[in-house]
Structure formats: C-alpha cells, structure tokens
C-alpha cells in the first residue's frame, strides 16, 4: 500500500501496540466467563432447534433449566440427554419442547459424552466446509465481473418474502451486497424468533429460516447476473453468538459484528458483550464470514471532525479483538463514515484524509464506508450532491464495502427506484474517476496529509488514556461516543457466568483448535 499521506510507520505500530495492551485484560476476563447465549449457541451447533407450543426456543428452554449448572457448560447436559434417551437431536428437541428437563437426567460416563460430542461437531464441520467451498467456488467463477468497492444496500420491509423481491431487484440493478435490516429492537430480545416472518417494525426478524429463504433467492439472482451477491445480517445484541451460528449454517457472507456497539448504542452490558463477541467471531471466522464493525455510529453522537480519533481508536481495538478470535484481516471489515457537517469549509478534504488514513493503516482489511446521514435533509438535490461526493471519496481512497447513500432512507423504507438511483449514481461517479487516485499526490504539509497525521497523533494520546484507565473504566467514563455505561449495568448482565474449573464447551474447544487461538 503506497503511503501517500506520509504517515509515520513507527506511530502506526505504536497505536497497534497500545490496542493490543488495552485488550489483554479484557481478553483474560473473556477466557474466564461464558454467557447464556454462548451456551445456547453451542447447543444450536450441536443440533438444538425448534420451539415449544408457546414458541419458546428449545435452546432457551434447555439452558434455562440448567441454572447454576451452567458454570459447567450446557453442552454436557444436552449430549447426555441424547445418549440416555437414545434419540437424535431432532427427537430430543421435540421432547424438550414437550417438557423434558435435561438437568434432571443423571450424567453418564464422561468419555461417552465426549465421543458423542465429537460426532455432532464433525457433522457441523462438514456443513460449514461445504458452505465455504461453495462460496469460494462462486467467488472464483465470477471474479471477472466483480468491481471494488462492493455496492451495499439494505432491504427492510418486515416481510421476508417482500424483502426477497426488493433484494433481487437491487442485485439486478447492480448491488453486490444485500443487508436485511433487523426488526427494531430485536437486538434486545434474549431469544431468537423461529421460522419465516412476514411482519416486523422497520425491519425483518433475523431467523434461521429467513436466512435460508434469502440465501436461496440471492443464489438464484447470482447465477442470472454472474456475480456473487453477498448476504448480510446483524450478528449483534443479546443473541450475538446464536445468530453467528445460524448465519454460518445458512451460508451468509457478512455479519455486522462490533465489539462495543451493543454496549454504547443499545445499553447491553459490557461484560456480556465482550464475552459474546469473542465466541461469535470465532464462529464467523471458521465459516469464512466477513464481519463489519460499527464505528460509523460514533459519529451520530459525537462530532465527526472533533472526535475522529475515537473512530480510529475503535478500529484498532476492534481489529485486535478480531485477531484474538482468529479472524484474519481479510475477514475483518472495519467501519467508518462520511459524516462531517457539509457546511464546514474544506470538509471534503478532511473526509478524504480520514478515509485514506484508514486505508493506509489497515491495507489488508475490507474497509466498510458508511454514507452521510446526520446532516441530510429533505432537499433531494443537495442529498444527491452530498452522496455523489461520498461516492467519489470512497472510490478515490480505495474503500472495500460501500453502503450506498439513499436520501429517502431517513424518512421511510426506500422504494425500489430510490435504490436504483443510488446505485446508478455510484456506478457513474466511480466509473468516471476510476484511476483518479493513481494520478494524484498530496502536498507533504497540505491540509489532507496534515489532518491524517493529526488524527493519528490524537488517537495515540487517546489510547494511552484508555490503557491507563482500562477499557471497562473508559467506557464507564464516556470516552467512546460520549456515552457512559455501567460495568455492572445494562441489559443481559444476569446472563454472564464465571466458568467452573471443569467447565466444558466442545464447540469452543473445536473452534479454538481450528483457528489456533
């Protein structure tokens, strides 16, 4: 990666070293704890599925029945029930749904449980290997038709079947990535809804069946368009690891999966979130799923110019947590956004500086660039002008994943023609200036290079403060996004469990061995 901004490589390494040291004590905390949703995710991977007569998920029922025994891991009790009842996972799920309490079944010999676990995990591995092989084959087959950045749009009707129509139409118009927005507040549900859904407020419920339906629809349009159309959903909230497991099984390509987003913007307990993100990221990495982090959200609560350094700091911390979970750079899509006040003089130059700085600091990462939203108004002409500048900045600075700006998105779910115009605008701008960045150099002491260097310096000073305070305390003090959260507060704190000395999670053991973490 050409260093056009003249950034100090020594300072970049210093920033990365600070991020490593910031995450170390948190990583130790993660290693000592599990959560109710990690235990449910493990059971799902082992075969737990379905709901009871009141639509309570089998995974939730099984984990809830174990109570204090969760410190030893739920997998042992689920597998023990399979053996003692002499049934398949599907048959056991029906029994649990009808009232079987797996916590009351006397444990059989540990080796029998471990042998059974190995067979169940081998079946899961076979499915994931098949999914990865299929994705890789299609990426290779269609690589000549793929351009950069990938054009990313959203669908969010509430009805998965209507989402399919809009997603296929967008792909035919030129979109490369389709994200199905989740129903409002699903991130706060401590269970995953079951089956296909046809209603949801401001989005569609993330369920395994909905994943399957949309995956099949995008596979169909991929063959027609001769481009691999990527499917995205939201691996965040109280069920982060479970949704990761469902996405892995149904061959999603990307997952929104941030280490701090739920803490800052959904008031989910920080201990719960840090433990959950690690396990979910191991699942994503093993399945070859690209994660997208959420640094763009910082700029909705903080000023994009004054607090730009918090975005870079979060990217560095997110990248470190991702590496701790076995995610290589190619699967770590770090986020940022084009969110400065358009009234600011030279604001576009500062946006270019921020975007190019991220690209030069993270040359091997698929950066996800988010569109202007904070200062957008009902002025359609100005909106298109601002989005055109955003499209220019993205192509000029070498971004990887480009979420299109759609002016009606702040008002209502975009119509198909709104997406068409957004895609058409991006294609026009990016095609007409495709080699622009190869043709220019920055003034050594100019506005753009100077701004990037200043942000890097500010980031290092900020990370020093975070290291001194500790990440938990820094979040409590509101250092990120100007939002304060209590270490023992927020949603889901009661689902954080300290592991017993003889805790056992065969899925975790398998993933750690596969990923060498």
Residues serving a catalytic function are: 261, 296, 368
| Residue 68, number of CB atoms within 10 A of its CB | 9
| Residue 431, number of CB atoms within 10 A of its CB | 10
| Sheet bearing 230-234, strands edge to edge | 332-333, 290-292, 254-256, 230-234, 177-180, 150-155, 401-403, 368-370, 335-337
Cβ 153 vs Cβ 178: under 8 Å: yes
Q: Which strand (E) or helix (H) includes residue 254?
A: strand 254-256
Cβ 167 vs Cβ 214: under 8 Å: yes
Cβ 460 vs Cβ 14: under 8 Å: yes
* Token pair of 393 as six digits: 């900045």
| Residue 199, number of CB atoms within 10 A of its CB | 11
**Radius of gyration of the chain, Cα coordinates, nearest whole angstrom:** 23
CA torsion 219→141→175→165, rounded to 10°? -20
What is the Cα–Cα distance from 341 to 332, expressed in whole angstroms?
28
Residue 227 DSSP code: S
What is the Cα–Cα distance from 43 to 83, expressed in whole angstroms?
15
Return all residues near 241 (Cβ < 8 A) that are at least 6 apart.
35, 37, 38, 40, 41, 276, 279, 280, 283
Cβ 245 vs Cβ 289: under 8 Å: no
What is the Cα–Cα distance from 427 to 246, expressed in whole angstroms?
33
Region of 344 (left: φ > 0; alpha: ψ -120 to 50; beta: rest) is beta
How far is the CA of 400 from the CAs of 87, 237, 348, in angstroms? 47, 25, 19
What is the Cα–Cα distance from 339 to 193, expressed in whole angstroms?
34
Region of 264 (left: φ > 0; alpha: ψ -120 to 50; beta: rest) is alpha
């Amino acid at each position: 990666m050409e260093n056009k901004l003249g950034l100090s490589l020594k300072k970049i390494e210093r920033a990365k070293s600070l991020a490593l040291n910031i995450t170390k004590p948190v990583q130790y905390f993660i290693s000592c704890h599990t959560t109710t949703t990690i235990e449910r995710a493990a059971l799902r991977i082992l075969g737990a599925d379905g709901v009871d007569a009141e639509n309570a998920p089998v995974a939730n029922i099984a984990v809830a029945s174990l109570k204090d025994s969760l410190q030893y891991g739920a997998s042992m009790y689920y597998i023990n029930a399979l053996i003692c009842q002499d049934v398949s996972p599907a048959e056991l799920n029906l029994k649990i749904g009808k009232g079987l309490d797996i916590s009351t079944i006397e444990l059989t010999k540990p080796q029998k449980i471990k042998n059974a676990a190995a067979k169940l995990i081998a079946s899961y591995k076979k499915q994931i290997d098949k999914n990865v092989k299929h994705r890789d084959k299609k990426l290779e087959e269609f690589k000549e038709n793929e351009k950069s950045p990938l054009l990313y749009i959203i669908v969010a009707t509430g009805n998965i079947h209507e989402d399919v129509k809009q997603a296929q139409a967008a792909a035919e118009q030129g979109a490369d990535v389709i994200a199905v927005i989740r129903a409002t507040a699903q991130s706060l549900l401590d269970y995953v809804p079951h089956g296909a859904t046809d209603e949801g407020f401001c989005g569609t419920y993330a369920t395994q069946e909905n994943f399957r339906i949309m995956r099949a629809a995008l596979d169909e349009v991929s063959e027609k368009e001769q481009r691999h159309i990527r499917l995205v959903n939201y691996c965040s909230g109280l069920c982060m690891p479970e949704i990761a497991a469902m996405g892995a099984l149904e061959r999603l390509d990307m997952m929104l999966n941030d280490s701090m987003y739920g803490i800052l913007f959904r008031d989910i307990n920080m201990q719960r979130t840090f433990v959950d993100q690690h396990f979910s990221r191991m699942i994503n990495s093993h399945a070859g799923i690209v994660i997208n982090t959420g640094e763009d959200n910082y700029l909705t609560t903080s000023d994009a110019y004054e607090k730009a350094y918090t975005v870079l700091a979060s990217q560095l911390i997110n990248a470190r947590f991702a590496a701790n979970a076995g995610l290589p750079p190619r699967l770590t899509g770090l986020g940022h956004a084009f969110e400065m006040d358009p009234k600011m003089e030279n604001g576009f130059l500062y946006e270019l500086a921020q975007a190019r700085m991220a690209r030069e600091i993270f040359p091997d990462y698929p950066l996800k660039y988010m569109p202007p939203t904070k200062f957008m108004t009902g002025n359609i002409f100005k909106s298109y002008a601002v989005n055109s500048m955003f499209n220019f900045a993205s192509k000029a600075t070498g971004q990887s994943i480009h979420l299109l700006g759609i002016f009606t998105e702040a008002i209502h779910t975009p119509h198909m023609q709104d997406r068409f115009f957004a895609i058409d605008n991006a294609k026009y701008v990016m095609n007409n200036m495709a080699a622009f960045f190869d043709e220019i150099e920055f003034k050594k002491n100019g506005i753009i290079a100077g701004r990037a260097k200043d942000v890097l310096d500010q980031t290092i000073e900020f990370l020093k403060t975070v290291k001194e305070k500790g990440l938990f305390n820094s979040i409590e003090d509101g250092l990120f996004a100007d939002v304060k959260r209590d270490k023992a507060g927020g949603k889901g704190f009661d689902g954080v469990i300290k592991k017993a000395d003889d805790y056992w999670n065969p899925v975790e053991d398998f993933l750690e061995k596969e990923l060498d973490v």
